[in-house]
Structure 1
Amino acid sequence: MLKEYIDIGYTPDETDFVCEYHLEPASGISFEEACNHMAGECSIGGWSDISRLSPKLAEKLKPHVFYINKKKHIVRVSYPQDLFEFCSVSQIISTVAGNIFNSKMMTRLKLHDMTFPADPVSELWGPKYGIGGIRELAGVYDRPLVISTVKPKIGLDPATHANVAYQSFVGGCDLVKDDENLTDQKFNRFEKRVELTFKARDDAEEKTGERKMYMCNITAPTCEEMIRRANFISNIGGHYVMIDTIPTGWSSLQTLRDVTEELGLAIHAHSMSHAAFTRVGEHGISLYLITKLARLVGLDQLHIGNIADKVHENKKELMALHDCCVMDKVKSNEKMHILSQNWDGIRPTFPVVSSGSEPALIPELMKIFGKDVIIEFGSAIHTHPIGTVSDARACRQAIDAVLAGTSLEEYGKSHAELQAALNNGM
C-alpha cells in the first residue's frame, strides 16, 4: 500500500494536470508515506482503504508521484484529467489543494505550481481584452498606463471622492480606482459615487482631450448584487469593474467573467488577502499559481506587487509573475518552482505594479517590465507638496523622461512637478 501511487520515472501524459509541492512529513512519518497519502487524498484515496472502485477505473483515475527530492522537500504529482471539472477553478483547487492541508501526516505543504493541459485551458475564458484590448480602451499604445487610487481609501463622501478622481485624471492618470475596502458604506454609497465620479471622468476627458477610465469596486455580499452593480456601471457608460479577488472567490470571479463578456466590461483585479496563504515559502499556495489562475479565469488586470519595501515580493518573483501574465509559453524554472505552461492563445493579463510606487521608482520599473505594465500610485500621488494634480503630472513626466532617455534629475530641471516630487523624496 505504501507504494500505491509512487511511480518514480513515470512520464506524465500531455493530458495530465501536473503539480509541484513542497512537503514536510510529520514526525514519525516517512517522506514516501506522506507523498503517497497526499496523492491519494487529492484523488481516489482517503484515510481508509475503501475498495469500491473497479480495478480498471482505479487504474485510470489514480495519480502518479513521479518525482521526489527529499533533500529539497519537493514532490511532483501527475493527476489524470478525468479527476477534474475543466471549467471549474474552484473544483480544480479543491482537488489538488483542498482537504490535504488538514492532514496530520505533514507539518507543512505548499502547492508551488500546476500545469494545465490544453483541454481545460480551452474551456476557461481567459481575459476578454488582454493588453491590446486594454490599450485600445484607454487610447494609450506606447507607454505604461498610470493608475491612481483615491485616498484616503475610506471615509470620503461621494463628492470628495469624485473630486480627488478628477484631480488625478486632469494631472495625467489614465485610470482611477477605488481601494479594496470601499464598496457601499453609509458615508459613500455605491450608486452616488459612481454617478459623481463618472461625471468627473467626463469633465476630465473634455479638459484633457485624453480618454479616462474609472474602476469602481463592485465587490458585494452576493453574486446577484455584484452582477447588479456591474450592470449599473455598464448602463452609466463605464468600461471597467474592479473586484477583490481572494475574498470574492473563484466561482464568483468566473460568474463575473461570464457577465462582463455580455456587458463589454474589463475586470481590474485587486489581489489583496493573497498573502494569508502565499507568503510563507513552505506552506500554502504560491502567488505564482494564484496569478496563473487569475489569467485562466479571465481577469484583465491584476496587481502583482512592487519593488518598493512595502510588499513582500522580490524582483525575481515579480518578473516571474509578470511573465505568467503576459507570455504565451512559459518555460519551467526549477529554482523558482515554476512548471512549463502553454497558454494556447489565452490573452494576457495586464500586470499592475502597486503598493509603494512613486515617480522616482519609474525608471527601474520600466527597466524591469518595459512598457507593458500598469503603474499604480496610491498615497504617493496625493501627498505631492503642490497637490494631487501636480503629482499625477510628475508621474507622467517621469515616464516621458524614461522614454526620452533622460534622467529624472535632468528632466526635472524643466518640469516643476517632477522636480518637486523628487525634492520631496517621492
Structure 2
Amino acid sequence: MAATRFDHSRIWKRFEPVMNSERIEATYLLETPMDPTQIAAVMAGEQSSGTFVRVAGETDELRARAGAEVLKVTELASVPEPSLESAYLERKAIHGPYRRAHVRIAYPVANIGHNLPTLAATVSGNLYDIGEVTGLKLLSLSIPQAYRSRYLMPSMGITGTRAQLGVIDRPLFGTIIKPNVGMCSHEIADLVETLCEAGVDFIKDDEVCANPDHAPITERVPAVMARIRAYRDRTGRDVMMAFNITDETDAMRRHTDLVTSEGGSCVMASLNWCGLSGIESLRKHTPLALHAHRNGFGAMSRHPLLGIAFDAYQAMYRLAGVDHMHVHGIGGKFVDKAEEVQAAAQACISPLAINGSDVNDRVMPAFSSGQWAGTLPHTFEAVGSTDFLFMAGGGILAHPGGPAAGVRSLQQAWDATSAGQSLNTSKTKALELQVALEFFGT
C-alpha cells in the first residue's frame, strides 16, 4: 500500500524545540488549496527532522530538540486559481479555492551550524517543491545575534567606505563603465582618468565585464590603477574602483590579490552566479570592500508567489560578509516599485541581527539603474540619511556637457536637496543641473 503523508501537525505543535534562544525565524507567503496550518506543519517537518512518513529513530526527544516549530499562521484572502501548477494536487483531484497565509517557522540553529548553503537549504530548499503548495515565497529571516557572530562582519561597510574616500557628510557619487563591454584596457583606463578628474567618488565595472578577451583582468587592473594612483598622488583624493572579479573561486582570489597589489580597495562579484560559498570564501580571503551585485535577482523575486524576497536574500549575503549591496533605483529603468527600493535600502543600513546595535554591521545601499540628478532627491528621502552610494551610468556619461558636467549635475542636485530646495527652483543657478533636467526629463 502506498505511503501517505505523515501528519506533522500532531508533533510540531505538541513538542516545543528546546533551544528557543538559538533559532532562526523565517516568514513565508504560502498558497495552498488545503488548510494552511496543516501545510505549515508539513513545511516545518520537511525542513527539519521529519519526512512524509514517520521513520525509525524519530523519537520524541529528537523531534523536541531538532524539529522546527510553526510559530504563527495568519490566513489571508483566498483566490480562485492557483499561482503555480502541481501534479501532486492534480493526481489527488484537489482543487481550490486556494488559501493564502503568512507563515512563520523557527529552525534550530544547531541543525545548521556555521554553514550558509545549509542555511539556504533549510529555509528554502525543497519547500518550493512540496506537492500541496501552489505558491511559496520566503519573505524574511530573523537572525539572532549569537548566530550572526559566527560569521565575519563587513570589512568596510558604510563607515569604512566613507573613511577610505574621505566623504563624511553627503552621499557617495558613483558611476559605471559604459559601454558595458567592448573597450580595451587602455580605453577603460582613459575613461577612469576622465571620471576621476570629473570628481566622482566611485567607479565600477559593469556586471557583464569581468575578464573579457579584449580587456583581460590581468591587463585591465594595472592599467586602471596606474591612473587612479597618479590622480590620488597628485590630488590627495582617493577614488574607489570596484573591479568585477566574478569567476570561479580560485580565480576570484587571484584577481583580488592583483587588485590589492595594485593599491585597489574594492572588488565586485555577481552574487547569484558565485553563490554564498564563493562570496564567503572571498570575504575570508581579503579585507577589500566587497561590492555585491545582485543581477539575476529578479528571477527569484519578481513572481509574487514564488522565490525569495530581498529582505531574506540580503540577510544571507550579509552573513557572507559583503560591504555594499545593490538595491536598484527609484524611478529607474527596472521593475521595482519605489517602496520596494526604499525597504531594501532601509534593510541595508540597519544592523542584521535581531535587536542588533553594532553600527559596523551595516552595508552601503548601492542605487543604480537609470539614475541621474533628478532621481537624487527621492533617493535621499527614501533612505532618510546620507548613507548611500548613488550611481549614475548614463546619468553622468550621457550628460550633454560630458562626464564632468554629469558629476556636477549630481553635486548641484545634492546642494539643492540638502538645502531643502526643489531642483526646479535651483536649476537657474546651476547650469549643469538645468541641462540634465532638460535632457533626461523630470
Residue 192 (structure 1) aligned with residue 192 (structure 2): no
Per the alignment, residue 108 of structure 1 pairs with: 135
Between stretches 88-97 and 393-402, larger displacement belongs to 393-402
Q: CA deviation at 1:284?
A: 0.9
Q: Deviations over 1:327-365 (max 9, x none)?
A: 2378xxxxxxxxxx2335252101111111101111221
- Structure 1 residue aligned with 2:356, among 340, 343, 346? 343
- 1:237 maps to 2:263: yes
Q: Deviations over 1:141-169 (max 9, x none)?
A: 01000111011111111111122222222
CA distance in 2, matches of 1:352, 1:273: 16
TM-score (norm 1): 0.90
Describe how 1:378-389 pairs up with structure 2 within 5 A: 378-389=393-404
| 2:13 corresponding residue in structure 1 | 7
* Cα 1:5–1:197 shift into 2, 3 Å: farther
- The amino acid across from 1:403 in the alignment is S
Partner of 2:93: none
Query: Within 1, Cα distance between the matches of 2:273 and 2:115?
Result: 17
Look up the SS of the partner of 1:272 in the other structure: coil
Residue 127 to residue 280, structure 1, CA distance change in 2 (3 Å): same
Letter in 2 for 1:62: G
Offset at residue 201 of structure 1 (A): 1.6
Structure 1 residue 109 displacement after superposition: 0.9
Whether 2:62 is the aligned partner of 1:57: answer yes
* Pairwise CA distance, 1:100: 2.1
Find the residue that maps to 1:92 and give its secondary structure: helix
Q: Which amino acid aligns with 1:126?
A: M
User: 1:121 touches 1:343 (CA, 8 Å); kept in 2?
Assistant: no
Matches within 5 A, 1:377-416: 377-416=392-431
Is 1:295 the counterpart of 2:321? The answer is no
Residue 84 of structure 1 corresponds to which residue in structure 2? Answer: 112
Q: Which runs of 5+ in 2 are unaligned?
A: 1-5, 77-99
Pairing partner for 1:376 from 369, 391, 408 = 391
Q: Partner of 1:22: helix, strand, or coil?
A: strand
Q: Specify the SS of the correspondent of 1:73.
A: strand
Mapped to 2, the partners of 1:306 and 1:412 lie a distance apart of: 23
> Counterpart of 1:211 in structure 2: which amino acid?
D
- Which residue number corresponds to residue 269 of structure 1? 292
TM superposition shift of 1:296: 2.2
Distance (Å, rounded) in 2 between the aligned partners of 1:327 and 1:132: 13
When residues 172 and 316 of structure 1 are mapped into structure 2, their CA distance, relative to the original with a 3 A threshold, is: same
Is 1:278 equivalent to 2:276 in the alignment? no
Match of 1:420 in 2: 435
Give 1:363's aligned residue: 377
Change in 2 beyond 3 A, CA 1:213/1:6: same
The one-letter amino acid of 2:372's match is E
Question: Aligned pairs, how many?
Answer: 409
Shift of 1:207: 5.8
Q: Once the 2 structures are TM-superposed, how far is the Cα of residue 135 of structure 1 from its aligned partner?
A: 0.5
Aligned positions of 1:87-236 closer than 5 A: 87-205=114-232, 208-220=235-247, 222-236=248-262
Q: Distance in 2 between matches of 1:78 and 1:201?
A: 49
Specify the alignment match of 1:338 in structure 2: none
Q: Does 1:33 find its partner at 2:38? A: yes
The aligned amino acid for 1:348 is R
Q: Which residue of the partner structure matches residue 49 of structure 2? A: 44
In 2 relative to 1, CA 323–53 (structure 1 residues): closer, same or farther, beyond 3 Å?
same
Give the Å deviation of 1:82. Answer: 1.6
User: Displacement of 1:379 after TM fit?
Assistant: 1.9
- CA distance, structure 1, for counterparts of residue 14 and residue 139 of structure 2: 20
Q: 1: distance between equivalents of 2:175 and 2:37? A: 51
Structure 1 residue 313 displacement after superposition: 2.4
| C-alpha deviation, 1:283, in angstroms | 1.3
Cα gap change, 1:404 to 1:205, in 2 (>3 Å): farther
The Cα of 1:7 is off from its aligned counterpart by 2.4
Q: Give deviations 1:172-205, integer Å, cap 9, x for gaps.
A: 2101100111111111111211111112223433
Structure 1 residue runs of 4 or more that deviate by more than 4 Å after TM superposition: 8-12, 206-209
- 3-state DSSP of counterpart to 1:249: helix
Residue type at the aligned position of 1:367: E
Is the contact between residue 147 and residue 174 of structure 1 (CA under 8 Å) also seen in structure 2? Answer: yes
Structure 1 window deviating more from structure 2 (384-393 vs 146-155): it is: 384-393
| SS of alignment partner, residue 73 of structure 2 | strand
Report the CA distance shift for 1:188/1:206 in structure 2 as closer, same or farther (over 3 A): same
Deviation at 1:244, TM superposition (A): 0.8
Tell me how far apart the structure 2 counterparts of residues 32 and 165 of structure 1 sit (CA, whole Å): 57
The answer as to whether partners of 1:42 and 1:100 remain within 8 angstroms in 2 is yes
CA distance in 2, matches of 1:408, 1:111: 39
Kindly state the Cα deviation for residue 123 of structure 1 after the two structures are TM-superposed. 0.4
Cα distance between partner residues in 2 of 1:211 and 1:409 = 32
Q: Secondary structure at the match of 1:119?
A: helix
2:401 counterpart letter in structure 1: I
Letter in 2 for 1:349: V
Secondary structure of 2:134's counterpart equals strand
**CA contact under 8 A between 2:370 and 2:392: conserved in structure 1?**
yes
Q: Is the 8 A contact 2:157 2:289 kept in 1?
A: no
Question: What's 2:87 paired with?
Answer: none
Q: SS state of the match for residue 284, structure 1?
A: strand
Cα pair distance change 1:396/1:209, threshold 3 Å = farther
Summarize the Cα distance change of 1:394–1:208 in structure 2 as closer, same or farther, 3 Å threshold.
Answer: farther
CA deviations over 1:381-419 (Å, ceiling 9, x no partner): 111112222212221222223234444344433333222
Match of 1:354 among 364, 368, 376: 368
d(CA) in 2 for partners of 1:209, 1:363: 29
Cα distance in 1 for partners of 2:410, 2:230 equals 21
- Whichever residue aligns with residue 352 of structure 1, its letter is A
Distance 1:10 1:325 in 2: 33
